Chain A
Amino acid sequence: SQTIHQWPATLVQPVGSPLSLECTVEGTSNPNLYWYRQAAGRGLQLLFYSVGIGQISSEVPQNLSASRPQDRQFILSSKKLLLSDSGFYLCAWIRSSGNTIYFGEGSWLTVV
């Protein structure tokens, strides 16, 4: 069966510090991978998605970037965090020929 792992689960970072959130999927190959952000009281905002290694599509201009160095690894980064980057970050995946998206457990980021 397929599983998705996301870490760290909780992170408190000062303004201006870097960020790295990591996500890996097991039990499948060539998945589509996604990063969403869920701000307090708001819905899910699609940040990035990737259909293959090195292929990143950005949905919203922002202070964040994403990379896919391996087939089942998706990394969300920032060089300098802003207060507005605080939120709940969710990694997700679907099979390349699939139609249902599956989510990781999420990472809470608080920028102070």
Chain B
Amino acid sequence: AQSVTQLDSQVPVFEEAPVELRCNYSSSVSVYLFWYVQYPNQGLQLLLKYLSGSTLVKGINGFEAEFNKSQTSFHLRKPSVHISDTAEYFCAVRGFNFNKFYFGSGTKLNVKP
């Protein structure tokens, strides 16, 4: 079975500062990894995904994430955040041979002016 851990429930950061949101997963099989963003009272939108190939994945809104198989991590980064990045971010994992997606508990990013 797969599981996802997001260690930080909230991350406060000032505008234009860099940010890293941490995600670790556990799986006995190879996985696909995803980051989603959720704005208040909305569904989840895909930010980026890792399926195979380059371990550095670039997504929308200037976000990127790096897949590290040895550390079973898929941390999300942005070099300079904006107020509009304030939202909740979810890491997710899907096993190659399963129809299920498992999500972390989410990290609330609060960008302050």
A and B pair up? yes
B: which residues have CB within 8 A of A? 6, 32, 34, 36, 41-46, 49, 51, 90, 92, 94, 99-106
Contact indicator A102/B46 (Cβ below 8 Å): yes
Output the nearest chain A residue to B91 by Cβ-Cβ distance.
A43
**Which residues in A have some Cβ–Cβ distance to B below 8 Å?**
6, 32, 34, 36, 42-44, 46, 49, 51, 57, 59, 90, 92, 99-106, 108
Across the A-B interface, give the 4 residue pairs with the lowest CB-CB distance, nearest first. Answer: A43-B105, A103-B43, A44-B103, A103-B44
**Shortest distance in angstroms between B58's beta carbon and chain A's nearest beta carbon?**
16
* 23 CB-based A-B contacts, threshold 8 Å: A6-B43, A32-B99, A34-B101, A42-B106, A43-B90, A43-B103, A43-B104, A43-B106, A44-B44, A46-B100, A46-B101, A51-B99, A92-B101, A99-B49, A99-B51, A100-B34, A100-B49, A101-B92, A101-B94, A101-B101, A102-B46, A103-B45, A104-B43
Residue of B whose beta carbon sits closest to that of A9 = B41
Contact, CB under 8 Å: A90 / B43: yes
